[in-house]
Amino acid sequence: MPGVPCGALQHHTVPVACAIICSWLLILVHSAFCQKPAKLPLVGRKPFLAAWNAPLDMCKLKYNINVSLDLFQISGSPRAVHTGQNVTIFYANRLGYYPFYNEQGVPINGGLPQNSSLEAHLHKARKDIAHFIPSEDFRGLAVIDWEFWRPQWDRNWNKKYIYRQRSSELIAQAYLNVTDKQVEELARLRFEKSAKEFMQGTLKLGTQTRPHGLWGFYLYPDCHNYNVHAHDYNGTCPQQEIKRNDQLFWLWNSSTALFPALAIRKGHMDSIHNLHFSQNRVLESLRLASLTSLPYELPTYVYTRLGYRDEAMAFLTQEDLIHTIGESAALGAAGFVIWGDLNLTSSRHNCSKVKAFLNHRLGQYITNVTQAAEICSDLLCQSHGRCVRRDPQAPHYLHLSRGSYRILSNRNGTFTVTRQPSKNERQMLADKFRCHCYQGYEGERCDSIEPEEIEEDNMINEDVEKEKKPEVNKDIQDSAVPLQKAFILTILLLLLNFSSI
């Protein structure tokens, strides 16, 4: 049906109709040209957070091997015996009555979301949240790990195809004289509606009961760029998958953080395929983070591993640490989470291997990238924003300059950074990175303050004495900013003129 121009409506509806249209157009223009501010960091002014989510406590209990986690600002073991942790992961059996089919095809909690009681699930989930996160003032990561089905019908393939089959069977049993096409369409509608209600309702419960925590689903968003064996692989998210991610607006709008995952394969060790795989997954998460109705971009915390997806105890090389953790930092993620299971602690040898990796290669790299991110934030953004690559595909990383910094290993598993700042360090960073300001700050250097918009209550206090920050070169400008403002003003004037017709 063709649209009706504002001028063709009755006279008394013109101002209202045009005002609505103009308001939406202005929102679209603003979203397209003005980046939302970043949410304040979870810990102090740490622009790139290091988090741990693996059961290393078993090394101490079983083998008396103590592994220091001082590198990480927040940590938590995924073992069910632990509660009250800053990183809490909810597996399928730990949060309410999550419906799914087990490996033998047996339905658990009804098997399908449309065949399970949402009310009973939320009642149980409320108790589970109170158990695993007893503090109502919780200020950490709350990650829901539901992997048996996906909320979109078309994404339930391979082992997940059972959810389409069983959903169709339910409809076929309930209705007579319907075609196969009608059965599938009804099954799709009911499955997707119920899946949405389960996921959205669970997030709503979490954000209501523990409002200062950052809630989201593990593996969401997913770029589905898994065809890494293709000869011409460049990691780009398929257009169909980008469209499907856009259709999950309700999920991003209900979350308070995004948790994409970077699990790379040993078969592509040190390969540019690993770089392309990681880069595009992080970029897709950052894209979706800005589409919500919230006044800030959702923080992205990238899940990664010590080892490769197909060989857990073969730990990442230096190059692949850059391809995962380093790439995430340079693109503007809020942090990373290292996940692991009980395989890491299944033997004395494995525990010793994990400890050695943390005390050397991994520990040195985490120190390097987190310190570099903090220094860049200090120098370019007054500690009021995080540094982000000007060109997302450029090979620029937040790494300490070898000529100016040294990373020294300490006996207790920690690291010390010695510094001899270079005179042109600030300009070198400014050429490659820009600032993404936190809430309450704006400007090229995040030096324009709006105190009423700062949400200090969402931060974990950190008892670290801040050094005096050097002044940033006032000549560092980006000519795109005034051009964008001029464009928006022009659009505004045109819209106002249109509404007066």
- Pick from 245, 240, 242: which is nearest to 258 by CA? 245
- Domains of the chain (ranges, CATH numbers): 79-218 (3.20.20.70)
Q: Find tokens 């048996």 and name the residue.
A: 148
Active-site residue (options: 103, 119, 136, 147): 147
3-class DSSP state of 107 = strand
> Residue 11 has what pLDDT?
34
Pull the structure tokens for residue 22: 């103009």
pLDDT tier, 473 (very low <50, low <70, confident <90, very high otherwise):
very low
Q: Report which DSSP code applies to 38.
A: B
CB 56 within 8 A of CB 342: no
As a whole number of angstroms, the distance between CA 423 and CA 374 comes to 18
As a whole number of angstroms, the distance between CA 85 and CA 139 comes to 10
pLDDT tens digits, 178-212: 999 999 999 999 999 999 999 999 999 999 999 99
Kindly write down the DSSP assignment for every residue of 269-308, as one continuous string. Answer: TT-HHHHHHHHHHHHHHHHHHTSSSSSSBPPBEEEEESEE
Omega cis (within 30) before 221: yes
Task: Say what percent of the chain tops pLDDT 70.
Answer: 83
pLDDT over threshold 80, residue 32: no
> Residue 421 has what pLDDT?
66
Kindly write down the DSSP assignment for every residue of 335-400, as one continuous string. Answer: EEEEE--GGGGSSHHHHHHHHHHHHTHHHHHHHHHHHHHHHHHHHHHTTSEEEEESSTTS------
pLDDT tens digits, 51-91: 999 999 999 999 999 999 999 999 999 998 999 999 999 99
Phi-psi region of 443 (alpha: psi -120 to 50; beta: other; left: phi over 0): left
pLDDT tens digits, 432-461: 999 999 999 999 999 988 755 444 444 444
147: annotated active-site residue: yes
Q: Across all residues in the chain, what is the average pLDDT?
A: 87
